[in-house]
Structure 1
Amino acid sequence: MLSIPLLLIHKPLPNIDKNILELKGKNWKKYSFEFLSIFIAVISAFALNNWNDNRKDKKAEQKILIEIKNGLEKDLEDLKINNKGHKRGIKACQFWRDVIQNKEVIIDSVQLRFVELTRDFTSLQNNSGYETLKSKGLEIIENDSLRSKLISLYEYDYYTLRKLEEEYEEMQYQKNYFKDINKILAPNFVFDKKGNLINIETPIKLNKSDKNILMSYLMKIELNRRMVLTFYKKTEKKINNLESLIEKNIKR
Structure 2
Amino acid sequence: MSKSKTNGWHYTLEILVVFIGITAGFILNNWREDAVEKKLENKYLSSFYRDVQNDDLKLDSIASSSQLKADKLISILKETEVVNKPLSEDLAREIVTEMMYIEWLSATNDTYEDIINSGNLNLISDYQLKEKISSYYTFLNEVKNVEQYYQKHMDNYGFPVLYKTVNLLTLKFVNEESYQNLEFTNMYLGVISLIQQNNIHYRKALEKNKELQEALRNSLKL
**Matched residue, 1:41:** 21
Q: Specify which of 121, 140, 161 is matched with residue 103 of structure 2.
A: 121
On the 8 A contact 1:92/1:114 being kept in 2, the answer is no
1:92 and 1:182 map into 2 onto residues whose CA distance is 22
Equivalence map 1:1-252=2 (5 Å):
22-97=2-77, 98-99=79-80, 101-102=84-85, 113-134=95-116, 135=118, 137-154=120-137, 156-165=138-147, 167-168=148-149, 170-175=150-155, 176-181=157-162, 183-184=164-165, 186=166, 205-206=176-177, 210-251=180-221
Distance 1:113 1:104, change over 3 A: closer
Per the normalisation by structure 1, the TM-score is: 0.71
Q: Distance in 2 between matches of 1:47 and 1:234?
A: 46
Give 1:33 shift.
1.3
Q: CA deviation at 1:59?
A: 1.0
Shift of 1:218: 2.7
Give 1:179 shift. 4.1
> Across the two proteins, how many residue pairs are aligned to each other?
215
Q: How many Å separate the matches in 2 of 1:92 and 1:173?
A: 19
Shift of 1:241: 0.7
* Contact 2:87/2:180 (<8 A) preserved: no
Cα separation, 1, equivalents of 2:71 and 2:135: 32
Give, as a single letter, the amino acid of the residue that structure 1 aligns with 2:145. Answer: K
TM-score when normalising by structure 2: 0.80
Structure 1 pair 231–123 and aligned structure 2 pair: CA distance change class (3 A): same
Higher RCO (C-alpha under 8 Å, 6+ residues apart)? 2
Q: Quick one: distance in 2 between partners of 1:179 and 1:92?
A: 22
Listed as ranges, the gaps of 5+ residues in structure 2 are none
Instruction: Tell me the distance in 2 between the aligned counterparts of 1:72 and 1:250.
Output: 14
Percent of pairs identical after alignment? 18
Aligned residue for 1:151, secondary structure, equals: helix
AA at the equivalent of 1:80: D
